[in-house]
Amino acid sequence: MFRWKRTPLTITAVASLAVLLLTGTILATENPVAAYVQQKFISLRHRVAEYLPQPSQPQFVPTPFIPVITYLTTPAPTLTPPQSGIANAPTTAQATPAATATPQPSPTPAVNLIPIQPAVALSGVQHERQGWNNCGPTTLKMYLSYYGRSDTQQEIATFTKPDPDDKNVSPHELATYAGNIGMRALVRENGTLERLKLLLSNGLPVMIETGFVTPSGKEGWMGHYKLLIGYDDSQFIFMDSYNGPDQKITYEAMDADWRAFNRLYLIVFPGDQEEIVRAIVGDDLDDPTMYTHAVARAQAEIQANPNDVFASYNLGTSLNGLGQYTEAAAAFDHARMLGLPWRMMWYQFGPYVAYLQAGRYDEVITLADATLHVLDDLEESHYFKGLALRALKRDDEARREFETALRYNQNYQDAQHALEALPN
């Protein structure tokens, strides 16, 4: 058996390694091999940290100052004709929950879609396990492998989350990466199981964002991506960067997880499949139409269960999409009163948007402070706090928040634009 000698030199070396593991101090480099080693190093650091005493964590997102509870009387808005076509992948990282930028519509020719099949199992996706906090980049890497691409999770992470400890890569950031490499990408909300099946039946994998609890359960609720590759008569089949390949989940269980993110889905595809995607998504290519349907769905779920926290949150998200910010703020208030998972503001930022538009700047600052108290490297919370401070004419404080957001993610164009807009 190998035994190491406890000399001052070896003790110093081990102690130094422990410090590196716990602080994440490593040399920055653009070398792909070094990037891979860095990702493994970060994973090891966090695995070690799991065994150390953990700081106290909240159970829920804090409740609002003065909640408004009249949102249930908000009527569903009237449907409007579609105004936008299929979305190109955005060219800047988006912080707000609005849909990706869309071009002007063009006539959709007749497309012969394959109808929903009894069962589908797409092949060609190469599974890969994620590095630490690398769910989004890894799931996109698996997605791109279906189209024969060899992008690595490290390459995708370098663009989408320059801070290796970033806990969230948004669907829009993933869509941006896909657009930058020549693919097309579409982010939509209020998806249905039938639409997912239709996409799969036509040879299109689809990525969804869901709630997630690890098998041990000790980490609590968090966000997670799944790459759907098939289904049968009772369940979907998906690639999971955390749990492994060819996972299965019943329709009911998947929808229960999916609805925590307003049933958001991301389609990545080559340009020659645009008309197929356009035909499948249909009227929901138009933001007002999509969000109008989503409002009606959330209201129906709330009427069925007034204590449905995710339905209330989804109502706020969808009302934001329709520009009804006062009503959206009230819906978010209600969701917070019911008790949102404490990590919710890591992934979805609708309350910030609604409160800003409703002039509730102190609420934005307080909510951001509560979120950042647990974890500081959430660039979106710094950005929205900066917007609230700017609205209150506290420009120096706003500048610090925008600069902090950019320190964590130098590709964060919204924060860069906000910083440049401040007076010198």
Domain boundaries, the chain: 120-285, 305-421
Q: How confident is the model at residue 23 (pLDDT cuts 50, 70, 90)?
A: very low
pTM of the predicted protein model: 0.80
Q: In terms of C-beta density within 10 A (0-12 exposed, 13-18 middle, 19 or more buried), how is residue 148 classed? A: exposed
65-69, 297-301, 399-403: lowest mean pLDDT where?
65-69
pLDDT > 50? residue 245: yes
Domain 120-285 matching CATH 3.30.360.10: the answer reads no
Q: How confident is the model at residue 222 (pLDDT cuts 50, 70, 90)?
A: confident
Dihedrals φ, ψ of 238, to 5°?
-145, 155
Higher pLDDT, 143 or 40: 143
Q: Which residue has the tokens 């129906």?
A: 300
Dihedrals φ, ψ of 341, to 5°?
-55, 140
- For residue range 47-61, list pLDDT tens digits in order: 444 444 444 555 556
Which of 262, 266, 268 minimizes the C-alpha distance to 290? 262
> Are 120-285 and 305-421 the same fold in CATH?
no
The pLDDT assigned to 131 comes to 85
- For residue range 352-395, list pLDDT tens digits in order: 999 999 999 999 999 999 999 989 999 999 999 999 999 999 99
Domain 305-421 CATH superfamily: Tetratricopeptide repeat domain (1.25.40.10)
The pLDDT assigned to 141 comes to 97
Contact 320, 332 (CB under 8 A): no
- Percentage of the chain modeled with pLDDT above 90: 67
Higher pLDDT, 216 or 291: 291
Bridge partners of residue 208, in order along the sequence:
226, 265
Dihedrals φ, ψ of 249, to 5°?
-150, 135
In whole angstroms, give the CA distance from residue 332 to residue 318.
11
- For residue range 58-79, list pLDDT tens digits in order: 555 666 655 544 444 344 333 3
Biggest distance spanned by C-alpha atoms of the chain: 77
Contact 127, 237 (CB under 8 A): no
Average pLDDT over residues 140-144: 97
Which of 173, 126, 135 minimizes the C-alpha distance to 379? 173
In whole angstroms, give the CA distance from residue 386 to residue 402.
6
